[in-house]
Each structure stands twice: as structure tokens, then as C-alpha cells.
Amino acid sequence: MPAKPASPPAAPVDARRRVTLDDVARACGLSRATVSLVLRGSPLVNPDTRARVEAEFRRQGYVYHRGAANLRRKASSGIALVINDLSNPFFAEFAAGVDEALASTGHVTLLGSTGESVERQRAVLASLLEHDPAGIILSPAEGSDGAALRRLVGMRTPVLVFNRELDADDGTGWDFLALDNVRGAQLATIHLLERGHRRIAFFGGHRDSSSCRQRREGYRLALAQAGIEPEPQWLVDCAPTRLEAARQAAALFARDPAPTAAVCYNDAVALGLIAGLAALGRRAGQDFAVVGFDDIPEAAVSTPPLTTIAVDPRARGRQAAQLVLQRSTTPDAPPMHVIAPVKLQMRASSDVRVDGNLQ
């Protein structure tokens, strides 16, 4: 009986082709970001997953090409911008400022939004780190764990934290750029006090947010200087969005005597409150005084035009980009802690004077 012809040999493996992270990720059924976290020794990876990936590294003979990685780092032109609320017009202006400054230096913006989710923030950062950015500008989501973020990002990539403080520094020395939240809210409250208001609310924001705490602090300082202790019902918590502020407007009038004015956490909240007041038959600038915080472009053309604390968000974006680029060229310089100035921009929404005797 004639011998059975031999089966054709399997296609040879191209030994010249370098095994990539994509190869390992595909074999493990995982994302490239997860495999990269294993490679960097991140504690965020499940031990079983880590063991499976490391076994696949060995099976495929993966070799980390540090020289190529260093070359990529040197040539990286991307700066990651991670913001907590893409729907807030303030951040649209801030991002535009970042992009303007980066474009002038030949860099590009890698944009990610977390929607105030800590879990989403972790996923966004892990994905953006795969692009090996030359730096990161981060406006943290509410409830962020600073130590966990530092473990995720590592020590190599420069990070600038914007406006919201993380927990106590553990020695990594991230740079920080903030608005003068205390002074801004103080100016807003003094402005209302000078118009005779004594029952002044602080409206919007979450008290657990560092920026909200600081703005409430400035509000309380101004009231204390006028000999006023705010009533509990004058402090209204709500998500810092226009829609939620409109829904919560009635909370200001739940008890008598009600406030006659409000310092709002930001302009989105202030514009939402103006809409909520209208639904209640009240008119901002005539029956009730409203002051915002940010001075987004819409503030000047709202009805009525919004008195607010001007922070120039586009300029802050340019400043953030310049600071993170500066850090990338001077990695050993001391950490920077920069507080940007603010000023009161008076418009019609606060043009309500009150006789103190009526309060």
C-alpha cells in the first residue's frame, strides 16, 4: 500500500517580526491597555489576569524594546487633557485654550472626558497613556483617589492637576493650577452685601468637591465680616449643571423668609437658576439677584446678562498647557502651585438693591 503523502508543513512563523503588545492582548482576549498595565507593574490589574498575561509574554517570547520606547517618548507630541465635565461650557473654553497653546508649539491635544466618574477616569487615563503623552492636564472627577491616580500614571509622565485638589501629596510632586475660588466667592458675596442683601444663598455644587468647599468658604468669610451667619437652608447642594439648577430653584423659597440673592457655584448653575426663577414667576435682576462664577461667553448675552466672577477660562487653558510643557523640559524643578487671579464682572442679573430694613 503506497505511503500516505505527508501533510504540508505549517506556515513558518516569521521569526524576524517582533512580538507586539497587540499580539499578547489578542491571545489573552484583553485590551492592549490592560496588557500595558501588566507590563508597567500596575496594582490595578487582577492577580489572575497578571499571571495569564505574563505567561503569554513568555510563550510568545515578548521582549520589551526599551530603546524604541524611549525614542517614542522623546518624539511624543501629544498632551493628554482629561476633564470631568465636557458639557460645561467652561471646559470647552478651557480646552480651546489648551489646544491653542499646544498648536503653537507643534503639539496636539489628546482629549478625554470622565463625566465625573472615577471608574471612567481610570479607563480614560489608561487608554491615553497608551499614546505615551508628553504630559497630562487633569481636572479630577469628584471623589478621585490621588494615590490611585499616581500609581496608574507612574512617575515618568508630567501631570498638571487643574482646580480640584487631590489628597495630600505623597511625594510625587504633581503641579497644580487653580482658580482663586475663595477670593472669587468672597467678591461675589461682598457685591451683594453692598446692594443691601442680607439673606444670601450659596447655590449649587457638591460640598465634597474641593472647589465647592473653597467657594463656600469665601462666601462664609464675606458674610462673617458683615456679622451674618448663613441659615442652613441658604446652602443648596445640586449637580453643577444648568438642568439640575433649574430643577432646584424652588428650594430657595421653601421657607420664609427666603433669600433675596444667590452666589452660584458656576455660570452653568447661575443660568439654570435664572431659568428656574422664571418658571416660578420671578425675574433675575429684578426680583432676585444672581451672581455666577467663570464668565463663560454666554454670560454676557444671557437674559439678563449675568454678573459673574471672571476667570478667563481660555487663558487658563493656555496657562495649563504652558505649565505642563515647562515641566516636561524641567522634570527636576520643584513642584509648582499656581493660583490664577479672578475679578468681579458686574452685569444686570445682580442689579437688585434691597432696603436692609425689609430683611
- How would residue 170 be classed by pLDDT, with cut points 50, 70 and 90? very low
Closest CA to 317 of 80, 95, 85, 84: 95
Is the domain of 208 the same as that of 354?
A: yes
- Does residue 70 sit within a domain? no
Is 150 within the bounds of a domain?
yes
Same domain, 202 and 270: yes
> Per-residue pLDDT for 64 more than 70?
no
Query: Which domain CATH number covers 60?
Result: 1.10.260.40
Out of 9, 29, 64, a domain closes at 64
Helix (H, G, I), strand (E, B) or coil at 315: helix
228, part of any domain: yes
- CATH code for the domain in which residue 324 is found: 3.40.50.2300
**Domain interval for residue 190:** 181-312+344-358
* Better-predicted residue by pLDDT, 220 or 328: 220
The 10s digit of each residue's pLDDT in 221-271 is 999 999 999 999 999 999 999 999 999 999 999 999 999 999 999 999 999
222 with 276, same domain: the answer is yes
Report whether 103 contacts 48 (CB < 8 A). no
273 and 257 within one domain: yes
Q: Residue 7 falls within a domain, yes or no?
A: no
Using the predicted structure, report yes or no on whether residue 179 has a pLDDT greater than 60. yes
Task: Report d(CA 198, CA 61) in Å as an integer.
Answer: 73
Phi and psi angles of residue 206, each rounded to the nearest 5 degrees, phi first: -110, 130
Is 217 found in the same domain as 299? yes
Give every CB contact of residue 335 below 8 A, 6+ residues apart in sequence.
169, 173, 174, 175, 176
Residue 239: the pLDDT is: 93
What is the rounded (10 degree) CA torsion for 321, 325, 330, 336?
10
Q: With contact defined as beta carbons under 8 Å apart, do 349 and 290 qualify? A: yes
pLDDT of res. 86 = 87
DSSP code of 132?
A: -
One domain for residues 351 and 207: yes
Instruction: For the chain, state the CA radius of gyration.
Output: 26
Are both 206 and 295 inside the same structural domain?
yes
Indicate the number of domains in the chain: 3
Domain boundary among 7, 29, 64: 64
- Digit-coded pLDDT (tens) for 279-305: 999 999 999 999 999 999 999 999 999
Q: What is the model's pTM?
A: 0.78
Tell me the longest C-alpha to C-alpha distance in the chain.
118
Inside any domain, residue 133? yes
Asked if residue 305 is part of any domain, the answer here is yes
Q: Residue 358's pLDDT band (boundaries 50, 70, 90)? A: very low
Based on the fold, state whether residues 222 and 351 are members of the same structural domain: yes
Contact 82, 121 (CB under 8 A): yes
The C-alpha cell 464668565 sits at 295
Q: What would the pLDDT profile of 113-165 be if each residue is shown by its tens digit?
A: 999 999 999 999 999 998 889 999 999 998 999 989 998 998 889 999 999 98
pLDDT at 217: 98
> Do residues 48 and 154 share a domain?
no
User: What whole-number percentage of the chain has pLDDT above 70?
Assistant: 89
What's the whole-number mean pLDDT along residues 324-350?
A: 94
Which pLDDT does position 36 carry in this prediction? 83
CA gap 309, 311 in Å, rounded: 6
Same domain, 165 and 213: no
C-alpha cell at 294: 467663570
pLDDT of res. 357: 41
Cβ neighbour number for residue 107 with a 10 Å cutoff: 22
Among 35, 64, 93, the domain boundary falls at 64
- Same domain flag for 152 and 209: no
Same domain, 275 and 330: no
Give the residue ranges of DSSP H helices in the chain.
21-28, 32-39, 47-60, 66-75, 89-103, 118-129, 146-153, 181-194, 210-225, 242-248, 267-279, 313-329
- The dihedral through the CA atoms of 236, 341, 101, 210 has a sign that is negative
Evaluate whether residue 298 is within a structural domain.
yes
Asked if the structure places residue 69 within a domain, the reply is no
Helix (H, G, I), strand (E, B) or coil at 171: coil
